[in-house]
Each structure stands twice: as structure tokens, then as C-alpha cells.
């Protein structure tokens, strides 16, 4: 469709004919214009009343904005489909629909600030627009000093965002993205995907071997989304007993089963306004999967939660073997992201080794350094336990080294994760007089460590179920948080990262 009918005699418009008019007027000296006089930001004024729209455009242009106009929702959509605007001044009552539609359209509205315009009688709808992400609102007739102040805020917000973006790009080049460290090409591709999906509401399914950083990637998505101020709640589906699943996720009423003496909020409710991370999602009992799917209908649990799921198994294979419902798979897999194993991002090994050692130095107040031979050995290792295994190796080597972390502290080239055990060997020394509980804890943590953090292998080695292992680890974690001495790791040994998720 063509542009809005424009009345003649307006100040110099560039680009007539297509309906995409840019208004160039002498800018108000007190407002934001680049040194060379070119407008720094662009604005789209959407209003069906021609005189009002034109006059508003003029004032916005005086604020240093390159200004464009649209007279309807359809026309605004057309403009937004072809270019980006820094600010959109939006009349809510348009002839072909409610302007708020544009604000709600994530694809069109991404990256623009909205100022809604409303008649005095409909401040309610302006308030609604603020709730949906508009920056501010103006009532008709426009209060010019207020318009000026709002536009100045937009400029400041844009500048701030641009600065943040530059800093982020810089960090990314240095090998950091959100909570993730790594600059290998395989990680750069992951960063591209995470950056794209984070600001949307799309569900994400993270796949990748154990210890590749799936949980960290989920946190990074949360931190880069509008949900950032809300909670990020990690739930490990492998750690919840089948029979308790529904209550844990959706909560239960007082007395709904023996021992349930208080209404307990489920994880969904607790994650309201934030992100729920469902780790090891394939472990979700089949009978619960159907119920989980219905949650989308919002009638079951009316909460605002974004779900991110992860698995270190092949989800398509799980569908074939009947462990994962196909419909749930498609629901979760809106946006798949695969975390590459550490062996495929060789250059990151050294970067991560330095990163972890720096963290330890900062924590312990030490100045320990890597020996070149040790780094060479790290690079040659296969890392079946991925980043978690590397982190544990660094922790242990840092404890055993005085100042320099030498190659003798690093697993053999090509060695299995078992080589991660301390130089003393693979045995565990337990003093007579220790409690059974303490001995069990130390054996579990030492076995897990010798398996490079691979919980499945550790459970098999110990001859216990995976769920039992998860439960023990969550108890250790909880005790660690409470500062209980009983929660330490096998001595001598590092503070282990057993890879338990969030609260479980």
C-alpha cells in the first residue's frame, strides 16, 4: 500500500513519492543532534489525524530525530517490516485497529522504544501499554516540555544500550558471553543462537554432553531476556521421584497427601515472571509429560514462565524409544541449541584453565600460575567430562601446587577421566572413627570426581541408582550452603562441582 496522504507545504521532506517521508528541520539547539547536524536517531509517528501527526512529527524532528509517519496500523507495519526505528510514537486508537498490536508484535517491535499517545479519557489503555513495555505515554493535546523530556530519555536510553552492546561485543571477542567463557568458532555459533533467542519468549532445548555448560547457557539466556529481574529456577527432573513430580512442579494443597500439611507452591509458581530450567528433561515420567503439555493452556497454572529444557541424551532417540512424548519434544524443541564438547573447541581449554585459576586465585588470595607444560597437557587431554572435568582438574591442581601448576598434576594425555584422581592414586583414606555418613559422602564425591563429573557413570560405579546419587548430591549442596563442615569434599580435595542443578 502507499504511504499516508501528506498535506503539501510541509518543511523540506526528503524522499517523496513512496510515502516514506523524512522530515528535516532545524533542530532545537538544546536537543540532541550530532556534531555534523545529522539526526542520531529515527522516529516513526503513527497517528491517523493528519494535522496532529504532522505537528507532532515536526516537534520530534526538532528534537534531533529523523522522522517518518504512518496513518494506520497497516501502514506502520509496512514501515516496520522494512526498517528499524529507535522510537515509535503510537496513537492507540487507529482506524484499522489498536496501536498496541504493534507493541505486542515482538518481531516488529524488537529494539524500538514506544511512546503511546492517548486521549485524556483513555489513560487506562496507556497504563496497559506501559505494562506491555512502552517507555512512556503522552495525552492529547501534547504537553511539549513533556515530549521533549521523554525524547531526551529515549536518546539517553539508546546511547546506553549502544554502549552496552559495544561492551558486549568486546567481551565476546575476548571470549565471554553472559556467563559462558570460550572463543572457539563452535562457541561463537552458540553465542549467535543464544543472542537471537534470548530476547524472545521461545522455548529452548539445550543438548550436549554432560559438563558442556547447558545450565550456564540457560542462565545466560535468562540474563539476556526481559525476565532478568525475575527468578531463574533450575529443576533437575532426574532428581524428583516419579510420584512427587506433579506436586513438585505444580504445587499441592494442604492435606492432599499424608505429610502435606501446608499448601506448597510448585516450581512453576515459584518461577513466575522468570525462567524455569528443566534439566534432564527426558527423565520426566511419561505419564506426567501429557500433563506438562497442557500447562501451555495456562488454565492449569496461570503463571508467566519461560521454559528452557536440557538433556545430555539424544532427544530424537528418546522419542523413538518412547521415553519422550513426540508432542512434548516438538513443544520444547522450538529452538534447539547444541553445546559442543570441549574436545571440539581446543583453543578454549587454555582460556578456561586460566579463567578457572583466576577465579581460585581471587577466592583464595593466591597468585598461582600455570606451567607451560601443564597447559600443553591440558590441551592434549580428551575431556570426556568436558568443562566440568576441566574445572575440577584445575581446582585440584591448584590445591596441590604451591605456586606453579605443573604437568604432573594434569591427567595423562588421552587418559580417561579416571586419571583426574590425585597423584596419590585412586584410593580413599578413611580414618577409623569417621561416621558412616561421612565415609559415604567422601566415597560418592571422590567417585564422581574420578568419573569427571559424569553422574551416570559414577552411579554405575557406586552401584546406586542415578536418583539416589542426585539426592545425595543435593543434600551435600544444601549442607554446603549452610556452611556445615560435613559438606566438604574428600580431603585433600577441591570444592567439587558435582553438577547439581540450582535447588535440587
Ligand X SMILES: Nc1ncnc2c1ncn2[C@@H]1O[C@H](COP(=O)(O)OP(=O)(O)OP(=O)(O)O)[C@@H](O)[C@H]1O
Q: Which stretch binds Mg ion (CB under 5 A): 116-124, 186-194, 206-214, 463-471?
A: 206-214
Using CB under 6 A as the binding rule, whether residue 499 contacts ligand X is answered as yes
CA distance 192 to 146: 39
Q: How far, in Å, CA of 150 to CA of 155, rounded?
A: 9
Report the nearest approach of Mg ion to the CB of residue 209 (Å).
Answer: 11
102 vs 309, beta carbon nearer ligand X: 309
Query: Distance of CA 449 to CAs 21, 132, 413, 455, Å?
Result: 65, 47, 18, 9
Please classify residue 251 by burial: count the beta carbons closer than 10 Å to its beta carbon, then call 0-12 exposed, 13-18 middle and 19+ buried: middle
Answer for which of 216, 376, 462, 475 binds ligand X (CB under 6 A) is 216
Cα gap 286→262, rounded to integer Å: 27
Query: Of the listed pieces 57-65, 207-215, 291-299, 465-473, which binds Mg ion according to CB under 5 A?
Result: 207-215
In this structure, what are the phi and psi dihedrals at residue 68, rounded to the nearest 5 degrees? -125, 165
389 part of the interface to Mg ion, by CB under 5 A: no
Question: Is residue 98 within 8 Å of 92, Cβ to Cβ?
Answer: yes
The residues, any chain, with a CB within 8 Å of residue 389's CB and separated by 6 or more, are 211, 342, 383, 417, 420, 452, 453
Work out which of 64, 99, 203, 208 binds ligand X, going by CB under 6 A.
208
Sign of CA dihedral 445, 446, 448, 452: positive
In whole angstroms, how close is the CB of 277 to Mg ion at the nearest point? 9
Compute how many other C-beta atoms are within 10 angstroms of the C-beta atom of residue 146. 13
The footprint of ligand X on residues 73-92 (CB under 6 A) is none
Question: What torsion do the CA atoms of 90, 92, 98, 99 make, to the nearest 10 degrees?
Answer: 10
Instruction: Choose from ligand X, Mg ion, none: what does 235 bind? Cβ within 5-8 Å by kind.
Output: none
* Least distance from ligand X to the Cβ atom of residue 470, Å: 10
Find the shortest distance in angstroms from Cβ 25 to ligand X: 50
Q: Which residue from 91, 136, 215, 246 is in contact with Mg ion, where contact means CB under 5 A?
A: 215
Q: Which residue of 72, 312, 450, 474 would you call a contact of ligand X, by CB under 6 A?
A: 312
> Which residues does residue 97 pair with via DSSP β-bridges, in sequence order?
94
What three-state secondary structure class fits 428?
Answer: coil
Stretch that binds Mg ion, among 105-113, 271-279, 374-382, 405-413 (CB under 5 A): 271-279
66 contacts Mg ion (rule: CB under 5 A):
no
| 189 Ramachandran zone, left/alpha/beta (phi>0; psi -120 to 50) | alpha
Nearer to Mg ion, 217 or 295 (CB): 217
- Could you say whether residue 341 binds ligand X (CB under 6 A)? no
Residues 413 to 442 in contact with ligand X, rule: CB under 6 A: none
Which residues, numbered 243-302, are part of the site for ligand X (CB under 6 A)? 279
Distance CA 445, CA 497 (A): 9
Q: Site for ligand X (CB under 6 A): which residue of 69, 215, 246, 283?
A: 215
Residue 391 within binding range of ligand X, rule CB under 6 A: yes
- Considering the rule CB under 6 A, would residue 112 count as an interface residue with ligand X? no
The SS3 assignment for 69 reads strand
In 3D, which of 453, 438, 466, 458 has the Cα closest to residue 499?
453
CB of 282 to Mg ion, least distance (A): 13
Q: What is the DSSP letter of 264?
A: B
Stretch that binds ligand X, among 48-56, 91-99, 210-218, 469-477 (CB under 6 A): 210-218
Judged by beta carbon distances under 5 to 8 A according to partner kind, the member of Mg ion, ligand X, none in contact with residue 349 is: none
Instruction: List the grid coordinates of 31.
Output: 536537543
Which lies closer to ligand X via its Cβ, residue 210 or residue 275? 210
- Out of Mg ion, ligand X, none, what residue 450 binds, judged by CB under 5 to 8 A for its kind, is none
Q: Residue from 118, 210, 449, 474 that binds ligand X (CB under 6 A)? A: 210
Q: If contact means CB under 5 to 8 A according to the sort of partner, which of Mg ion, ligand X, none does residue 312 touch?
A: ligand X
Q: At what angle do helices 386-400 and 346-364 cross, to 10 degrees?
A: 40
Nearer to Mg ion, 214 or 368 (CB): 214
Q: Does 211 bind ligand X (CB under 6 A)?
A: yes
Least Å distance, CB 352 to ligand X, is: 6
Of 43, 271, 309, 387, the residue at the interface with ligand X (CB under 6 A) is 387
Cβ(301)–Cβ(250) below 8 Å:
yes
Rank residues 76 and 451 by Cβ distance to ligand X and give the closer one.
451
Q: Which stretch binds ligand X (CB under 6 A): 99-107, 211-219, 419-427, 433-441?
A: 211-219
Q: How far is the CB of 144 from ligand X (least distance, A)?
A: 51
Cα–Cα separations (whole angstroms), residue 284 to 198, 214, 249: 25, 18, 11
Nearer to ligand X by C-beta: 191 or 292? 191
Task: Return d(Cα 114, Cα 307) in angstroms, integer.
Answer: 27
Considering only CA atoms, give the Rg of the chain: 28
What is the C-alpha separation between 314 and 336, in angstroms, rounded? 12
**136 touches Mg ion (CB under 5 A):** no
CB neighbours of residue 319 within 10 Å: 18
Question: Is 373 within 8 Å of 407 (Cβ atoms)?
Answer: yes
Q: How far is the CB of 258 from ligand X (least distance, A)?
A: 33
Residues at the contact surface with ligand X, assessed by CB under 6 A? 180-182, 208, 210-216, 279, 312, 387-388, 391, 497, 499
Residues at the contact surface with Mg ion, assessed by CB under 5 A? 214-215, 279
Amino acid at each position: 500500500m502507499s504511504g499516508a496522504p501528506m498535506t503539501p507545504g510541509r518543511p523540506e521532506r526528503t524522499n517523496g513519492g513512496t510515502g516514506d517521508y523524512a522530515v528535516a528541520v532545524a533542530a532545537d539547539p538544546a536537543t540532541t543532534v550530532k556534531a555534523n547536524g545529522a539526526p542520531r536517531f529515527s522516529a516513526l509517528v503513527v497517528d491517523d489525524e493528519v494535522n496532529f501527526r504532522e505537528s507532532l512529527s515536526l516537534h520530534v524532528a526538532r528534537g534531533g530525530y529523523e522522522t517518518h509517519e504512518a496513518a494506520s496500523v497497516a501502514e506502520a507495519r509496512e514501515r516496520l517490516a522494512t526498517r528499524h526505528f529507535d522510537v515509535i510514537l503510537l496513537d492507540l486508537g487507529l482506524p484499522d485497529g489498536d496501536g498496541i498490536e504493534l507493541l505486542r508484535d515482538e518481531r516488529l517491535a524488537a529494539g524500538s522504544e514506544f511512546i503511546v499517545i492517548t486521549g485524556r479519557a483513555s489513560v487506562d489503555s496507556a497504563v496497559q501499554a506501559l505494562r506491555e513495555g512502552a517507555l512512556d505515554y503522552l495525552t492529547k493535546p501534547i504537553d511539549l516540555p513533556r515530549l521533549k523530556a521523554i525524547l531526551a530519555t529515549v536518546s539517553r536510553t539508546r546511547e546506553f544500550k549502544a554502549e552496552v552492546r559495544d561492551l558486549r561485543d568486546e567481551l565476546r571477542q575476548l571470549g565471554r558471553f553472559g556467563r559462558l567463557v570460550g572463543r572457539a568458532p563452535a562457541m561463537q555459533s552458540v553465542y549467535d543462537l543464544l543472542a537471537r533467542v534470548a530476547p524472545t519468549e521461545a522455548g529452548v532445548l539445550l543438548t550436549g554432553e554432560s559438563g558442556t555448560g547447558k545450565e550456564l547457557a540457560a542462565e545466560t539466556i535468562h540474563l539476556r531476556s526481559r525476565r532478568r529481574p525475575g527468578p531463574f529456577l533450575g529443576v533437575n527432573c532426574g532428581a524428583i521421584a516419579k510420584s512427587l513430580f506433579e506436586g513438585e512442579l505444580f504445587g499441592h494443597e494442604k492435606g492432599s497427601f499424608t505429610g502435606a500439611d501446608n499448601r506448597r507452591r510448585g516450581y512453576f509458581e515459584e518461577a513466575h515472571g522468570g525462567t524455569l530450567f528443566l534439566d534432564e528433561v527426558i527423565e520426566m515420567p511419561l505419564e506426567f509429560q501429557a500433563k506438562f503439555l497442557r500447562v501451555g493452556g495456562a488454565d492449569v497454572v496461570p503463571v508467566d514462565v519461560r521454559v528452557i529444557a536440557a538433556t545430555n541424551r539424544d532427544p530424537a532417540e528418546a522419542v523413538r524409544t518412547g521415553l519422550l512424548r513426540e508432542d512434548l519434544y516438538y513443544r520444547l524443541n522450538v529452538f534447539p541449541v547444541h553445546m559442543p564438547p570441549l574436545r571440539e573447541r581446543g583453543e578454549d581449554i587454555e582460556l578456561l584453565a586460566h579463567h578457572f585459576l583466576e577465579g581460585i586465585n581471587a577466592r583464595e588470595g593466591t597468585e598461582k600460575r600455570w606451567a607451560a607444560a601443564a597447559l600443553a597437557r591440558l590441551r592434549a587431554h580428551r575431556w570426556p567430562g568436558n568443562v566440568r572435568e576441566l574445572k575440577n582438574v584445575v581446582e585440584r591442581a591448584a590445591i596441590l601446587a604451591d605456586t606453579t601448576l605443573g604437568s604432573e598434576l594434569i591427567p595423562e594425555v588421552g587418559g580417561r577421566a579416571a586419571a583426574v584422581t590425585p597423584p596419590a592414586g585412586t584410593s580413599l583414606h578413611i580414618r577409623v572413627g569417621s561416621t558412616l555418613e561421612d565415609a559415604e559422602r567422601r566415597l560418592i564425591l571422590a567417585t564422581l570426581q574420578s568419573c569427571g563429573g559424569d553422574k551416570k557413570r559414577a552411579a554405575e560405579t557406586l552401584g546406586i541408582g542415578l536418583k539416589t546419587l542426585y539426592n545425595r548430591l543435593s543434600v551435600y549442596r544444601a549442607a554446603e550452603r549452610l556452611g556445615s563442615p560435613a559438606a566438604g569434599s574428600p580431603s585433600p580435595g577441591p570444592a567439587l562441582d558435582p553438577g547439581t542443578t540450582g535447588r535440587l
